[in-house]
Amino acid sequence: MSRTVIIGGVAGGMSAATRLRRLDETAEIIVLERGEHVSFANCGLPYYLGGVIEERDALLPQTPAGLGRRFGLDVRVRHEAVAINPGRRTVSVRNLATGALAEEGYDTLILSPGAAPVRPNIPGLDPAALLSLRDIADTDALQAAITAAAPGSRAVVLGGGFIGVEMAENLRARGLDVTLVQRGGQILRALDIEMAGPVAAHLRAAGVDLRLNTTAIGYEDGRLLLSDGSRVEAALIVSAIGVRPETGLAAAAGLEIGVTGGIRVDSTGRTSHPHIYAVGDAAEKTDLILGEPRLIPLAGLANRHGRAVADRIAGLDAHQRGALATSIVEFRGLAAAAVGWNERELRERGIVPRIIHTHPASHAGYYPGAEPISLKLLVDPGNDRILGAQAVGRDGIDKRIDVLATAISAGVTASALADLELAYAPQFGSAKDPVNMLGYIAGNQTLGADPTLQWHELAAALDTGATFLDVRGGAQLAEGLVPGSRHVPVEMLREVEPTLPPGPLIIHCRVGQGAHTAQRLLTQLGREVRNLDGGYVTWRAGVDALAAARPQTP
C-alpha cells in the first residue's frame, strides 16, 4: 500500500487527493491543512462579502469528516508542515491546536501550499488592521470589519487587479464608499491600457474613487496618506496588490526554486526531487504559447494540475499542458477577459505582434438587447499564430474568450478563426460571429492586404506628412473628432479621390469596418492606404486611458 502526503487542502491539494482515491482505493492519503477549512470556494469569497452569496456555508462544500466518509481521506486541519526531509521521506508536522510535533513518512509527497497575499508595510498602520482576502479566516475578519463600519464610511482597496476590482464592487454593494489605489497607470494589468481604460471609466461612473500611479505611504488619525498628497478616511483597508508563492518549506528542503520565484516542476509536476510533486499557486507553470515559466495563480490550473499529478502517481502517463492564463472579471455588468500575452508583455520580450481591434455587437444588431463588445487579438506576423486576446463588454465576453482560448490550445491560426462553425441564432450571435470577423481580418492581413496603424502610432505617422481622412457618416461625427483629420464620407471617396494630396493616406471610421471598405477602394485606385485599427472607438479609449493615467491633483 502506497502512502501519499499532501500539504495544502484547497484547490490543487484536494483535487489531487480525490482523483488519487478514485484511481487507487488501496492508497493511504493524508492531507495536511494548517487552516481550519479545506476545499472552500475561494473565488466566491468577495461575493459572499457583497451579499450575492448569502450563506457562509455555501463556500464550504466539503468538510474533513465528509471527505473521510466519501473518499477515505485522512484530512487533518490545523496541522502545519514545518519541515521536509527528502532523504528520509518524512514531513515534520505541528498540530496547531496542541503544539505537538510529529513525523509523517511518505512514499510520495505533493506540495500545494498556495500563495500568500503581499502585505505592504505602511508606516503608522498596525499590520493587523491591514486586511486581505485569501481564505475563510480572512473573509470572517473582513465581514466583521464591514459590519462594524458606519454606513457611508470609506474603504480603501490597495491594488487594481482582478481581486481589487471584485472587492471594490462588493464593498460598494455593502454601502461603503470605496477608494481604489493602483500603483501603476492602469488597472487590470492582464489587459492593455486601451482595453482596461473603459473598465476604469466604468468604475469611476459607479462612484469608485480610482487613484492611478498612487501608493499608500502612511497612516495617521484614521486616514491613509497617499503618494498623490491626499489623505483618505479609511474605516477599513484591504490589500489586494498580489500574492507570492509559498515556497519557504520547499526551499528549506533543498527543492529548486524557479526564475519566477515558484517551485520549479517538470511537465509531470515533479519537483527537483523524484518523490515530491508541486501544484497550485506555489508551482511554476510553463506558458503554452512562448514556453516561458510563469506564475499563474488561478484555481482552474490548480485543479487540473492536481488531477494530473494524481494520474502520474497512479501510474498513468500524464503530462501537464502549457498554461494560457485565461481569466475574466466583472464589475457591475461590465466584464473584462484575457488569454495569453498582451501587447505590453510581448513588446517587453522583443516581439512586435500584428494587432486587430474590433467592436462588434454581442449578437445580431436587429435583435433587441445587443451590446457592443471590444476585442483585441495579438498575432505572430511570421506564422499567423495567436499570441493572446482580450475582450471587454456587457454580454458574450466569456463565450468569445473561451472560444479564443480553445483555438490557441488547439493550434488554430488567426486566419483559421474565420472557418470556425459557431452556434448562431440572432439572440446569441451573428451569422458572422465576432470571432469569425477576427479571422477575416487576420486572413486579409496575412495576404499582405489592408495594412493598419495602431492608435498609439498615429501621431508619429501624421508627423511624416500622411493625409488623414475620417470616412464616417456625418451623424457619427458628434461622437468626437480625431485631431488632424479631414472628413470625407466613404460614399464620396470616388468623387473626391482625384483632389486628395499625393502620398500616403491614413483613414479611419468609427470601428474600422467602413474604413476597410474605403481602403479597398482607394488601394485599387493606386493609393497607399493604412487603416487606423479599431477606428475612433479604439483611439478614443487609448488616449482617454493615457490621460487618466497622468498624475492627479488631489
- Side chain identity at 10, as an amino acid letter? V
Q: Which helix (H) or strand (E) holds 225?
A: strand 223-226
Dmax over Cα atoms in the chain, in whole Å? 89
Give helix 11-23 / helix 299-313 axis angle, nearest 10°.
Answer: 30
**C-alpha torsion sign, points 546, 549, 553, 554:** positive
Length of the chain: 554
Residue of 43, 77, 83, 420 marked catalytic: 43
Beta strand pairing call for 28-33 and 74-77: parallel
Burial class (CB in 10 A: 0-12, 13-18, 19+), 103: exposed
Catalytic site residue 43?
yes
* 3-class DSSP assignment, residue 254: coil
Dist CA 444 CA 453 (whole Å): 15
SS (H, E, C) 93-125: EEECCCCCEEEEECCEEEECCCEEECCCCCCCC
* 3-class DSSP assignment, residue 218: strand
Asked if residue 340 lies in contact with residue 292, where contact means CB atoms within 8 angstroms, the answer is no
* 3-class DSSP assignment, residue 319: coil
Q: Which helix (H) or strand (E) holds 530?
A: strand 529-532
- Side chain identity at 373, as an amino acid letter? I
Dist CA 278 CA 249 (whole Å): 12
CA dihedral 274, 279, 282, 283 (to 10 degrees): 60
Q: Which helix (H) or strand (E) holds 20?
A: helix 11-23
Dist CA 447 CA 520 (whole Å): 14
Dist CA 199 CA 182 (whole Å): 14
Q: What is the CA radius of gyration of the chain?
A: 26
Q: Which residues are catalytic?
A: 43
